[in-house]
């Protein structure tokens, strides 16, 4: 069984789309913003292995903690520097073992987004 997608209820759909395009390298796979009652955008990577569903729903938008989404990156230091330059205020670099390093930023909805590099 494989996970198809992660759904994020968002209060700021266009800002969320921009974040996932610029920060996670995702592109729009399906765009249903033309339906004013159910604006939904599916975003994914080129391989189809990652898919995020963004649902415009300000009254049910995510506001809590305790969940994170992790993205694998090739150069963790370069990614950290990019996030700083983009004003995202990345958290500290964490290295739980000699083969893994990661850090977190928040998406426009407050979801913790983890960027990970493993050797």
- Tell me the whole-structure pTM to 2 decimals: 0.86
How far apart CA 103 and CA 15 sit, in angstroms, is 21
For 11-40, write each residue's pLDDT tens digit.
Answer: 999 999 999 999 999 999 999 999 888 899
Instruction: Map out the domains of the chain with their CATH numbers.
Output: 6-118 (3.10.180.10)
Higher pLDDT, 53 or 67: 53
Q: Mean pLDDT over all residues of the chain?
A: 92
- At residue 48, the pLDDT reads 76
Spacing of C-alpha 36 from chain mean position: 24
Tokens representing residue 102 in the block: 């990661």
- At residue 36, the pLDDT reads 83
- At residue 60, the pLDDT reads 84
User: Do the Cβ atoms of 28 and 18 come closer than 8 Å?
Assistant: no
Q: 39: buried, middle or exposed (CB in 10 Å: 19+, 13-18, 0-12)? A: middle
Q: How many helical (H) and strand (E) elements, i.e. helices and strands, does the chain have? A: 2, 8
Question: What stretches of the chain adopt beta strand conformation (E)?
Answer: 6-10, 27-32, 40-44, 51-56, 68-72, 94-97, 100-106, 112-118
Higher pLDDT, 62 or 75: 75
How far apart CA 79 and CA 66 sit, in angstroms, is 23
């Amino acid at each position: 069984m494989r996970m198809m997608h992660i759904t994020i209820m968002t209060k700021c759909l266009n800002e969320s789309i921009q974040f996932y395009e610029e920060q996670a390298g995702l592109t729009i796979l399906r765009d249903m913003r033309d339906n004013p009652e159910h604006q939904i955008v599916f975003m994914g990577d080129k391989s189809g292995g990652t898919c995020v569903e963004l649902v415009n729903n300000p009254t049910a938008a995510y506001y809590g903690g305790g969940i994170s989404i992790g993205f694998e990156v090739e150069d963790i230091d370069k990614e950290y520097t990019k996030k700083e330059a983009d004003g995202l205020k990345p958290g500290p670099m964490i290295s739980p073992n000699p083969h893994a390093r990661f850090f977190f930023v928040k998406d426009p909805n407050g979801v913790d987004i983890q960027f990970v590099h493993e050797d």
